[in-house]
Structure 1
Amino acid sequence: MATSSVEEKINRVCYFIEEQPYEDFSLQDLSEVAELSKYHFQRVFKSVVGVTPHRYILLSRLRRASFELLYRRDLKIIDVAISAGFESPEAFTRAFTRVFSQTPKAFRNRPDWSKWAREFDITIPVRDRQYNVNVFDYPSIKCAAITHRGFYLEGLKTYDALFNFIVKNQYLTREQLKATPLLIIPNANPLKIEESEYTCEHCIPFEGEIAPNDEGVSSVMLPGGSFAVLTYVGPREPNGISHAIQYILNEWMPQTEWEWGGRPAAFVYDNSPLLFPDTELITHICLPIEPKTQ
């Protein structure tokens, strides 16, 4: 499952940027991290990732700013601008509007998730790494859930609806939600299925009862059982996650007495991009398993 040396180098640069997204890196700085010539680096970076290094830095800043606009209502727009590394709120507003066709204020009030999601349809190359897989038995868990349908990056719109529903109906507070893991259960790899066929359950652990509503939120009981669990650290994007799942299926599982149980994998988002850089995001990949049949 080796990746090319070029992809390893570009991955190194992506992580370097994500660890300090508010620094003003020059092309020379980044090309040195990649160990490529400045002119060769820019061409290679765009061919692999889909955007220029400068655009990638901008998107990294604006992604974090987007989350703060929506989920940190205590912050003024000027605070978000400064936090995102912009010299002034005017510069932040110009950049945000140019990319998303919405001002920060308009996005905070009514985000256009479709436009937002398309801007982040980029590729972060996978780096080779050593994974640890452990087997755990988990009980069933009761959750408040909502179903996302369509383009996977627009899942944030669905999560936003679930988050706001729970807060509005006082099931949990904003602060409680920030400390509560999110469980994601997709029906397939979003890169290998038509957008119209992709669905994904967004689940937040909640023991109470959800009243009947018109917003698509309901109580569900996620079944327990035995799971192969791999803790993945880094950006939550399909290429890296898929790489980790293939490791469980193709490298770890054949050497064990376990086989895939047939149910979809669950992804437990242990921490929030509001509080941590993408390189420190923790995702527990939980694949249902059962003893191999003879």
Structure 2
Amino acid sequence: MKAALQDYHARMQRVLDHIDRHLDDDLDLDALSSIAAYSKYHFHRQFTATFGLSVHRYIQLARMKRASYRLAYRDAQSVTDVAMDAGYDAPDAFARAFRQRFGQSPSSFQKSPDWEPWLAAFGPLDNARSKLMQKTFTTDDVTIRDVPPTAVAIMEHRGDPAMLGATIQRFIAWRKAASLHPRTNPTFNVWRSERRPASPADYSVGLCVGTDQPIEANGEQIKAGEIPGGRCAVLRVVGNTDNLEPAALYLYRDWLPASGEEARDFPIYCQRLSFFPEVPEHEAVADLFLPLK
């Protein structure tokens, strides 16, 4: 039974990876059922039973998520280009679907996103993906590295996690103006609270970019800081890097007590190595660092 279940999950995982990799293509049921090695009728029923979404609905949400990321974080793209990439023949049809899902027009969202309806709209997609994308970590996945200190510029987000997207927008805009491109200047997140604290007002995370140059704030609340060097337990996460809490829990709850190591007095942090939507979501990569004594 266990082998059969693993085979079933592997088939469905192949389908999700194919969808992520080919969002610009015609993802018809015949092709997807062939990838899963099921009959078309059986595949459609199994997909819906597994993920709680029809194949068509899943693809729609995946395309709309990529489109919304491009609107919010990639201001060089026009609404028309984003609509075409999302599989719509006309911007008007895209605008209607977008407004129905998020309560805003694409152009309004591009200028000033309302993040709470956005988060709610993608709840079904996130739930579907988490059913197969929760990785089980082992001690073999963890390495111990001596990392050098890194000077960083920091923009702090404090308060409701639902509003983190707005801070990310400002951070991206600031680092563009400062010519701190991700290819040349590494990106870090430093968590100073739980992902879901008892009070949303207590949520705190630092958005950081590596730079040893003088910082020009340009009206933003930017400060200079440092990610200290030293020994760290490092766990690489590939895919679904929006939520690194399972990986962090593994390091703190499972790996650390069994390792005989002690945590240093600096928060857990990550370095983001590749980003969605520049790469398909299942190819996003982040290294999680637990500082050690």
Q: SS in structure 2 opposite 1:279?
A: helix
Q: SS in structure 1 opposite 2:274?
A: coil
Q: Structure 1 181/119 Cα, relative in aligned 2: closer, same or farther at 3 Å?
A: farther
Work out which of the residue numbers 265, 286, 292 in structure 1 matches 2:268: 265
- 1:203 matched to 2:208? The reply is yes
Instruction: Tell which deviates more after alignment, 68-77 or 84-93.
Output: 68-77
Q: Structure 1 179/234 Cα, relative in aligned 2: closer, same or farther at 3 Å?
A: farther
- 1:45 matched to 2:48? The reply is no
What letter matches 2:214 in structure 1? E
Normalising by structure 2, what TM-score?
0.78
Which whole-Å deviations, capped at 9, do the CAs of 1:44-103 have from their partners, x for residues lacking one?
412xxxx65544322221222123224444433222122222232222222211111111
Report the number of matched residues.
278
Work out which of the residue numbers 238, 248, 256 in structure 1 matches 2:251: 248
Q: Structure 1 112/282 Cα, relative in aligned 2: closer, same or farther at 3 Å?
A: same
Which whole-Å deviations, capped at 9, do the CAs of 1:82-131 have from their partners, x for residues lacking one?
22222322222222111111111112222223332332343323144665
Q: Tell me, yes or no, if the aligned pair for 2:270 and 2:288 is still in contact at 8 Å.
A: yes
- 1:234 matched to 2:239? The reply is yes
Q: SS in structure 2 opposite 1:155?
A: helix
What letter matches 1:17 in structure 2? I
What letter matches 1:155 in structure 2? L
What letter matches 2:220 in structure 1? E
Q: Structure 1 8/189 Cα, relative in aligned 2: closer, same or farther at 3 Å?
A: farther
Q: Structure 1 278/146 Cα, relative in aligned 2: closer, same or farther at 3 Å?
A: same
Work out which of the residue numbers 80, 83, 86 in structure 2 matches 1:81: 83
Work out which of the residue numbers 141, 154, 164 in structure 1 matches 2:173: 164
Q: Structure 1 243/109 Cα, relative in aligned 2: closer, same or farther at 3 Å?
A: closer
**After superposition, where does 1:62-77 map in structure 2 within 5 Å?**
62-77=64-79
**After superposition, where does 1:117-266 map in structure 2 within 5 Å?**
117-121=119-123, 122-123=126-127, 124-125=130-131, 126-128=134-136, 132-167=141-176, 170-172=177-179, 176-177=181-182, 180-191=185-196, 193-211=198-216, 215-238=220-243, 241-249=244-252, 252-254=255-257, 256-266=259-269
- 1:58 matched to 2:60? The reply is yes
Q: CA deviation at 1:137?
A: 1.5
Q: SS in structure 2 opposite 1:258?
A: coil
Distance 1:272 1:32 in 2: 26
Q: Structure 1 40/111 Cα, relative in aligned 2: closer, same or farther at 3 Å?
A: same
Distance 2:33 2:137 in 1: 22
Q: CA deviation at 1:39?
A: 3.6
Q: CA deviation at 1:151?
A: 4.1
Q: CA deviation at 1:12?
A: 5.7
Q: SS in structure 1 opposite 2:262?
A: strand
Q: Structure 1 166/245 Cα, relative in aligned 2: closer, same or farther at 3 Å?
A: closer
Which whole-Å deviations, capped at 9, do the CAs of 1:24-44 have from their partners, x for residues lacking one?
344994698397764454244
Distance 1:106 1:235 in 2: 27
Q: SS in structure 2 opposite 1:190?
A: coil
Q: Tell me, yes or no, if the aligned pair for 1:145 and 1:203 is still in contact at 8 Å.
A: yes
Q: Structure 1 20/182 Cα, relative in aligned 2: closer, same or farther at 3 Å?
A: same
Distance 2:31 2:44 in 1: 6
Alpha carbon RMSD of aligned pairs, Å? 3.3
What letter matches 1:208 in structure 2? Q
Q: Tell me, yes or no, if the aligned pair for 1:185 and 1:266 is still in contact at 8 Å.
A: yes
Distance 2:107 2:226 in 1: 38
The gaps in structure 2 that reach 5 residues or longer are none
What letter matches 1:230 in structure 2? L
Q: Structure 1 195/13 Cα, relative in aligned 2: closer, same or farther at 3 Å?
A: farther
1:18 corresponding residue in structure 2? 20
Distance 1:54 1:141 in 2: 45
Q: Tell me, yes or no, if the aligned pair for 2:185 and 2:211 is still in contact at 8 Å.
A: no
